Amino acid sequence: MLRREEALQKLYQARFSQAERYRGAVWRIICRRVFSRYVPKSSKVLDLGAGWGEFITNIEADRKYAMDLNPETGNRLPGEVRFLHQDCSLPWPLESGTLDVVFTSNFLEHLPNKQSVEETVSQAYRCLRGGGSFICMGPNIRYLPGSYWDYWDHQIPLTDHSCAELLRSIGFTVERSMARFLPYSMSRGNRPPLFLVDLYLRLPVLWPLFGRQFLIIARKPAAISGAAP
């Protein structure tokens, strides 16, 4: 496990360090323009595969959690965020029905196998209250057939359809599934001016033209508050 954590630290450093301030600014815009409508300020929110905490730092919420296997994540989070340092496919140290929102971005494709993905999403289902939301964003291999594999730690090919099918099989109701949402990546040096990022998010008509990442909003049925099936 230690070697895996050290490898993650090196990958995160190489991938994120050159664009750290830019990424933070972009996520402030994304949270304000898009995700704030799905995350009430009174929510208890967990950022799954939090990376360097760009989402959980910039979203407004009553109680914040961040989960990552990389110990460096904990050093980059503001004090109000509780860091859960663990393998996400193992049982989460939270009571069933604790969370209002579980958010994950560009993470599930990094897990080692489909069983790990399923166990991780099942833990999210257990920890969400009835009526709670699972928000998932990630690269859509349908529109990235070659460049999807340019990242050494990409393991699982995902599309909006396959991810939605998994969520339904676990018990979620998929309320919104968008095949094309954001462009692919900031870590390859693609850093458009922030005013263009803001404009893009305000013009959904552009998303089918430039989007290469899917966005899924799913909900745990309101009548269910216990463990995953």
Q: Give the DSSP letter string of the chain.
A: -HHHHHHHHHHHHHHHGGGHHHHHHHHHHHHHHTGGGTS-TT-EEEEET-TTTHHHHHS--SEEEEEES-THHHHTS-TTEEEEES-TTSPPSS-TT-EEEEEEES-GGGSSSHHHHHHHHHHHHHHEEEEEEEEEEEE-GGG-TTGGGGSTT------HHHHHHHHHHHT-EEEEEES--S-S-STTS----HHHHHHHHH-GGGHHHH--EEEEEEE--TT--S---
Between CA 100 and CA 129 the distance in angstroms is: 6
pLDDT tens for 125-172 read 999 999 999 999 999 999 998 889 988 889 999 999 999 999 999 999
Cα distances from 24 to residues 49, 50, 91, 108, 222, in angstroms, run: 16, 13, 30, 21, 34
Question: What would the mean pLDDT of 160-185 be, rounded to a whole number?
Answer: 96
pTM of the model: 0.89
- 106 versus 226: the higher-pLDDT residue is 106
One of 3.40.50.360, 3.40.50.150, 3.40.50.300, 3.40.50.450 is the CATH number of 2-219, namely 3.40.50.150
Model confidence at 229: pLDDT above 50: no
Question: What would the mean pLDDT of 16-23 be, rounded to a whole number?
Answer: 71
Model confidence at 190: pLDDT above 90: no
Average pLDDT, the chain: 90
What pLDDT, on the 0 to 100 scale, is given for residue 199?
97
